Structure 1
Amino acid sequence: MMAKMPTVDDVAEAAQVSRQTVSNVINSPQIVREETRVRVQEAIDRLGYRPHASARRLRTRKSSTIGLRLDPLRDGISGAVLDRFVHKLAEQADERDLRVMIFTANGAEDELAHIRRLRDGSDIDAFILIATFHGDPRISWLIEHEVPFVSFGRPWGASLDDPRHRWVDVDGRAGVRDATAKLRASGCSRVGYIGWPSPSGTGDERRAGWEEASGFDADGLATYQVVTEDGVDQGSASARHLLALDEPCDAIVCASDSLALGASMAATALGQPELPVVGFDNTPVASAIGLSSIDQPLDEVVAATLTLLFGPDGDVVLPNPDSNEQPTNRLLVPRLVERRSTHRAFGETTGA
């Protein structure tokens, strides 16, 4: 049975003060005698009391609410990363007595219209942007109107160090580079790559990681990569191309788990079920079928996002900074989860 949460009355009784004195210590500590304030604070700490979020919202005239737009799902695989991100955001926000409001929009301009309405109505204090892109109009508008925000994704094509744009991202270049290098170290000499069309900030970074570690010259880079839209069928067709070359690739790294699933299916159909294949995002599908994949540390992403927005205590909405005296961005390192799709190259399965 869940233990009862302590109340203001419990704190007042423990500290031997009135209910109003407890409220004063929480809301206006400067008007309380130091000796009394210390005694009440000790009781708060000992009991683990947390001021009610609704009372705090009334006091500060802040909604303690974060706005987040959801993109439409595509094939049910690529959308799993956002689904996990939203779940972790809701969990960590709840721990800070914060709320998350989800809304949908048809493109960036429609999203801005929603943001303007929600901001003007004082329904939301801050926003989290996802899927940033080159020339993203959301970023410039939010900066211009001094709306607190953090993006999950870098400011592609703009300054990475502009303190007015707080962002958190995962180093996809490093993740793909490390996976490619590990395949080559295990004996694979022609590691192919399947990725997305450029310009794609995230896709271009992942491709760059493969190029850096592939060991190919310019001709090899052109030969052993396929550019395609995201999807299982596209991954399958791309893998068939790479495996039909005069000197076919002996491993494949992909920009997503959707592409990797298609590549793995194609390899199996062509009689090469042991062809090493690595995806990106470590989705539930990858786990279910034993597909090696590069995992984004979403717990760390969410924790960094909330800290940049609300500070370490999560109690104050921080304005957009005008200097970079304090860190205003985080670039986090992913990790490779090895499964049976790469057992020939990597050895025994280390994750499931």
Structure 2
Amino acid sequence: MLDLSVVGEGHDPAQAVRDTVALARSAERDGFRRFWVAEHHSFPASGSPAPAVLLAHLAASTSTIRLGSGGVMLTNHAPLVVAEQFGVLEALAPGRVDLGLGRSPGGLPAVARALRRAPQEPGDDPFPALVEEVLGFLGSGFPADHPYTRDHVHVVPGSPDLPVWILGSGTTGAQVAARFGLPFAAAYHINPEQALRALDLYRAGFRPSAALPEPRTIVSVNVTCAPDEAEAERLATAGAVMMMRARQGIQAAVPAPETVADHSRTPEERDFVEGWLGTVVHGTPATVRASLAGLHARTGADELMLTSLIPGRAERERSYALVAAEFGLSARLGNLSA
């Protein structure tokens, strides 16, 4: 599960964070294997700007489920700080922490400036070098003549066995993951067509590493499950309208389904909403199961990671619980390791 700490219309963002804690506990009870949290800045629809902080609390609130970042936006952070933060998390929850790294700024250009990101030259992508530095701090080390080696810069507490995933909604992340022999999480829920292409590029270019002899993939997908089809579409449409408004430059919380039902849309807006819903797996448990099985067959993913833009926590929790029950997750996944 990838939880975005969804902020619904009229809801308190602080409550959205507390809802994430409750969802992590229910995900553990329902048998989900992983629970990842996002990094979004200055985004009214998400209350999750600081994944390491949130994960520390989740580690204390759960006992078995794997916890991770989906992801840490590495261009916002010094690699040493990321390695230190996740070293602490690994010490708090040994064997339960995943570090997912992304290259997006996690917000609009003005947000990137507020995060004090250095201006980039056209065509310059610092992400591969930043990933390499994180890996060096986590355990792969640096060359003998490297300043960090010479000056004895290292991470305390260390975490050489911490799994590192590369995230991507396009092909750049896939190429970086393949180059370093790391597992890859494809953001199908953001860009389905590019995610499918990225998976092909990742597998074709994969170089085995000490950490990973063969390609390993997660595919994330937006899912809305409800007892009947009409209810599922009503809930899924709320997220579609939020995304439509974001594309129009309107940053807002996820609207309530009642608000969406009363909203008159232009033909262009209707086309966007219908197109977005086409990327969301939604329906009854049986419908969702069939759609997820089809996506699994199409992508060859080792794992599917479910996410949701349902604005209400109760409906979002019910959606995940219905999927868990349909797949019998409690019996099959509760005791699986990394």
TM-score (structure 1 length as normaliser): 0.29
Structure number with greater CO (CA < 8 Å, separation at least 6) is 2
